[in-house]
Amino acid sequence: MEDYPGITTEGRTLMGPGPSNVHPRVLQALAMPTLGHLDPEFLGIMNLTKELLAKTFETGNEFTIPISGTGSAGMETALVNLIEPGDRVLVCVNGLFGQRMADIVTRCGGDLALVEAEWGRIIEPEMVEQALKARRADIVAIVHAETSTGVLQPIQPIAEAAHKNDALLVVDAVTSLGGAPVRVDATGIDVCYSGTQKCLSCPPGLAPITIGSRAQAKLEARKTNVQSWYLDLTMLHSYWGRERFYHHTAPVNMVYALYESLRIIHEEGLEARFARHRLHSDALKAGLAAMGLRLFAQEGYRAPMLTSVEVPDGVDDAQVRRHLLAHYRLEIGGGLGPLKGRIWRVGLMGHSCTQANVMLFLSALEDALTTAGYRVEPGAGSLAAAQYYGAHGSGS
Ligand SMILES: *Cc1c(COP(=O)(O)O)cnc(C)c1O
């Protein structure tokens, strides 16, 4: 078997758009013995996982479960279940993940309309109101933290516009959940989904989703079968709910991992966690500004867990990322679609969101930029971040 060596990776500092670094306790949970997916002991873990997930979404929805699949499976689940052929769906698009939602809507026969904004800017709530006035919609869908651009979208005014016009609101919280307030009930979100690999700091593989009562009523009133057998929420609910009807074999060890990551989140406390993401993100942004770099996302709406930075003129985006990986074992992301080669995406998600990582990244970036021939005042980024911490406390 010498052609097939064992996996011996030393790992990386994961500061890209996901996955983020996984807490050692979560890796330990993954390695626990696999139980049968209907074993009473596992059913107990499932119940506790559902409870902690609901607390994380800040919802009283009993219908809160992890879907087997990555964040995109959560997106697909939300849309294929809610949409019946011919339903009118308004999708807000200001980045790649909004585009992906629109793609899924047309694939399941939804009658699609778009509200669009330039990548890097928020969707203005007035645009949604106008679109809904012009054409009634059954469903409005929007991304909370657009990981392709680093924009954090205010959801409350969109929720108000949707409900005033009798539409259900679907929110993508793949990147935001566990890093910024999502508050499903207080905001009035009907369906919200996420993914385990971003601010929940669990490996990729599960997509938590929560379904409110209005959305549940729409599922119950469906006249047609959900086009996806695997992602049919009603069937999944009878496995995760009291009936325990076998549907598909739950990824048992991933559920352990999610459970442990949620325990870690609630040991820290949601508010403390949100404050930690803001603190380190602001320190990072101060450091980048001091290095003469420009932030890409609209000011006032920059996501704490994902900072988009413009690649300076004349600098080769990929060369810098290769340098960080080769010399510091540190991963950041490049731009997607129209932003390819134009921005870097720097994640501070969950377990990766630390002062140590901010300071490592700023000095590593200085080195990489200097190597690429871009002049940075030596130490300027690290100094500005250190001063930020000095003035605002260093958290962890
Ligand atoms: C990452 C991401 C997704 C997709 O998640 P995968 O785990 O890559 O399938 C969807 N929406 C947003 C906003 C994301 O950041």
In terms of Cα–Cα distance, which of 127, 108, 174 is closest to 306? 174
* Confidence (pLDDT) at 242: 85
* Chain segment 148-163, per-residue pLDDT in tens: 999 999 999 999 999 9
Q: Give, using CA atoms, the residue closest to atom 12 of ligand 1.
A: 174
77 inside domain: yes
Question: Quick one: 55 and 98 in the same domain?
Answer: yes
* Residue 337 and residue 356 share a domain: yes
Average of per-residue pLDDT across 92-96: 98
Q: Which protein residue's CA is at the shortest distance from atom 3 of ligand 1?
A: 71
Is the pTM for the entire model greater than 0.95? yes
CA–CA separation, 312 vs 269, rounded Å?
38
Is 324 a member of any domain? yes
> Tokens for 209?
């989703």
Do the domain assignments include residue 341? yes
Q: Is residue 54 a part of any domain in this protein?
A: yes
Q: What is the mean pLDDT of residues 269-284?
A: 98
- Binning pLDDT at 50, 70 and 90, where does residue 395 land? low
Q: Indicate which atom in ligand 1 lies nearest the CA of residue 72.
A: 9
Q: Enumerate helices (H) and strands (E) in the chain, giving the number of each.
A: 14, 14
Pocket of ligand 1 (CB under 6 A): 18, 70-72, 75, 97, 143, 147, 172, 174-175, 195, 197, 204
Which of 243, 267, 291 is the last residue in one of the domains? 267
Q: Are residues 121 and 225 in the same domain?
A: yes
Which residue's CA lies nearest to atom 14 of ligand 1? Answer: 174
Q: Do residue 90 and residue 205 come from a single domain? A: yes
pLDDT of 396 higher than 60: no
Residues 67 and 126 in one domain: yes
- Whether residues 138 and 233 share a domain: the answer is yes
pLDDT of residue 11: 95
Last residue of a domain, one of 217, 250, 267: 267
Q: CATH code at 330?
A: 3.90.1150.10
Query: Is residue 38 very low, low, confident or very high in pLDDT (cuts 50, 70, 90)?
Result: very high
Q: Are residues 136 and 184 in the same domain?
A: yes
Same domain, 232 and 342: no
Return mean pLDDT, the chain: 97
Sign of the alpha-carbon torsion through 127, 110, 50, 172: negative
Q: What is the Cα–Cα distance from 6 to 329, expressed in whole angstroms? A: 20
Confidence (pLDDT) at 66: 98
22 assigned to some structural domain: no
Q: Which of 248, 267, 286 is the last residue of a domain?
A: 267
Residues 172 and 243 in one domain: yes
pLDDT band at residue 393, thresholds of 50, 70 and 90? confident
CA–CA gap between residue 284 and residue 292 (Å, rounded): 13
Distance from residue 284's CA to the centre of ligand 1 (Å):
23
Q: How many Å lie between the centroid of ligand 1 and the Cα of residue 205?
A: 11
Q: Where are the alpha helices (DSSP H) in 303-395?
A: 317-328, 355-371, 380-392
Residue 288 is predicted with a pLDDT of 98
Cα 391 to averaged position of ligand 1 atoms, centre (Å): 34
Residues 262 and 277 in one domain: no
Identify whether the C-beta of residue 95 lies closer than 8 Å to the C-beta of residue 74. no
Residue 239: give its domain's CATH number: 3.40.640.10
Total structural domains in the chain? 2
Distance 127 CA to ligand 1 centre (A): 25
User: Each residue of 138-196: pLDDT tens digit?
Assistant: 999 999 999 999 999 999 999 999 999 999 999 999 999 999 999 999 999 999 999 99
DSSP lists the bridge partners of residue 142 as 171
* Pair 139, 287 in one domain: no
Atom of ligand 1 lying closest to residue 75 CA? 10
Range of the domain at 165: 32-267
Residue 283 and residue 249 share a domain: no
CA distance 89 to 139: 5
